[in-house]
Structure 1
């Protein structure tokens, strides 16, 4: 792939940024699986026994999440700019191929699209999105506790991951046209699943072998040890499995679903075993790959089971 330089046209430079920091294909797949599982669950809880639905609200919601994740990515790149200049000087932003000011405009455009789509979906969606957006602003400002939180790396990540339940609640409002205070307990429980799914990936991508640790870059292996962080990933996945099993039991899903979730856990266990007994940069990196696949497959499994159990309809309405 040709290296894009700072004198290239703005669209080319922004595409270079997206390829590096926000790959559209991977993010679209992640968002579609995340949105589908939460939307179908919301529908199953609000309209028991009725078929699942894909309609224009699905498209609006997915595009909203795509823009939301993009603006969070840009917020993070602003927040971490100086550290990234020191540790990742070859990135597109650090090479000045794109500038912080250009990314501000891109984020502003994404945010405008988010709220325009939420307005189409209705007042409940606007309110839910507004709450998630305000939380993203707090993330940008590191909750006005930046240095204090950074010294407590696990707490720092735990607080930031709360954005995932808030986005699940946004999906609820897009899918049902209902407000946050109308969310049933079982949907809140699955919002917890979303939290731990994201945490699973957050931990996995920051597991490093001792020789790859770099001064100034935080990692979970620094906190929990070379293997302790990998074991923590397994604990988080166990929590996910238990929580989603409770939701599945409430909905009366089949044994096939439980078997699939356990099988998914066992497949990802292979990555931890490889890392434990063949510790290397390669096996450490594979943990993040397993984590990404786990998130998508986990959500797809629930979506497919709900469709298999209740059927699906496609509608041209909101």
Structure 2
């Protein structure tokens, strides 16, 4: 079983990169929120490790749950993947899922300060795995699947936000918390839609947003969300790094040009790859800006 699980994690959920992603997600929210609310004294300990671990595990749970939900579709469209190919068994993933969920639940219930929000996150994730008991209706509607499933990423952000607010006595509802909930959610929404936009010549039986609404309309929608994303990032970064703000502005100008080029000629490049590059630049800019601000603060 362990050899089969090693295959699964290597191909479907690489552990070290995903743990690094979880660390970035947690501490980006953590420090952006504190710096935008005037808190300059940080106390990082065991609870913060649990927060990172929870994000890491929850993203793993979503990955495994998606493979269970899409098993029949993947057997037909993606037979080379670890689970539908038979190189990993459903039982292997079920055992792994039960162990990691149990560990995550125990750690949060015994050591964290936002147990209610944690339970809300896991309850929502569980309902997602059962298609909210409306499988026939949701599975057959790409837009409905988006509006019911994608918001879980915002709930995951709120899990971190509430932990920070409770620990440092900050208000749960404020401009920084609202902006953070959205600015950390928009990349997942942008990625989810852009990965299902294809040029007309590349369409297959796989259902995409470009097939449903046309590639131009789908691209324009992603463009609007991208502009909202960069505005929220700029507002949150304004007090931290003006140089970072300038990089974000240059990045969104470049991405706007790429959107227009794709709308005019979808055969020129893959829009998903361009969106991923934009997201990497945005997130790296935020992380580096935070790191430099904190480093300068420690040295002065």
What TM-score comes out, normalization by structure 2 length? Answer: 0.86
Q: How does 1:35-184 map to 2 (within 5 A)?
A: 35-45=26-36, 48-51=38-41, 54-119=44-109, 121-124=111-114, 126-178=115-167, 182-184=171-173
Q: Which has the higher contact order (CA 8 A, sep 6+)?
A: 1
Q: Aligned in 2, Cα 1:221/1:75: closer, same or farther, shift over 3 Å? A: same
Task: After superposing the two structures, state which structure 1 stretch, 55-64 or 99-108, moved more.
Answer: 55-64
Is 1:264 the counterpart of 2:264 in the alignment? no
Q: Aligned in 2, Cα 1:23/1:271: closer, same or farther, shift over 3 Å? A: farther
Task: After superposing the two structures, state which structure 1 stretch, 23-32 or 160-169, moved more.
Answer: 23-32
Tell me the distance in 1 between the aligned counterparts of 2:169 and 2:281.
27
Q: Aligned in 2, Cα 1:276/1:147: closer, same or farther, shift over 3 Å? A: same
Q: Residue 246 of structure 1 corresponds to which residue in structure 2?
A: 235
Task: After superposing the two structures, state which structure 1 stretch, 90-99 or 68-77, moved more.
Answer: 90-99
Q: Aligned in 2, Cα 1:263/1:27: closer, same or farther, shift over 3 Å? A: farther
Secondary structure at 2:215's aligned position in 1? coil
Tell me the distance in 1 between the aligned counterparts of 2:160 and 2:12.
24
Secondary structure at 1:283's aligned position in 2? coil
Ranges in structure 2 where 5+ consecutive residues have no aligned partner: none
Post-superposition offset of 1:52: 5.5
Post-superposition offset of 1:312: 7.9
Q: How does 1:6-21 map to 2 (within 5 A)?
A: 10-21=1-12
Post-superposition offset of 1:24: 2.7
Q: Residue 214 of structure 2 corresponds to which residue in structure 1?
A: 225
Q: Aligned in 2, Cα 1:274/1:120: closer, same or farther, shift over 3 Å? A: farther
Superposed CA deviations along residues 265-317 of structure 1, whole A, max 9, x for unmatched, are: 2344465356446534x822xx3333334434433433433444455899xxx
Secondary structure at 1:227's aligned position in 2? helix
Tell me the distance in 1 between the aligned counterparts of 2:5 and 2:104.
19
Q: Aligned in 2, Cα 1:289/1:62: closer, same or farther, shift over 3 Å? A: farther
Ranges in structure 1 where 5+ consecutive residues have no aligned partner: 1-9
Aligned alpha-carbon RMSD (Å): 2.9
Superposed CA deviations along residues 210-229 of structure 1, whole A, max 9, x for unmatched, are: 233222x2211112313332
Tell me the distance in 1 between the aligned counterparts of 2:165 and 2:296.
16
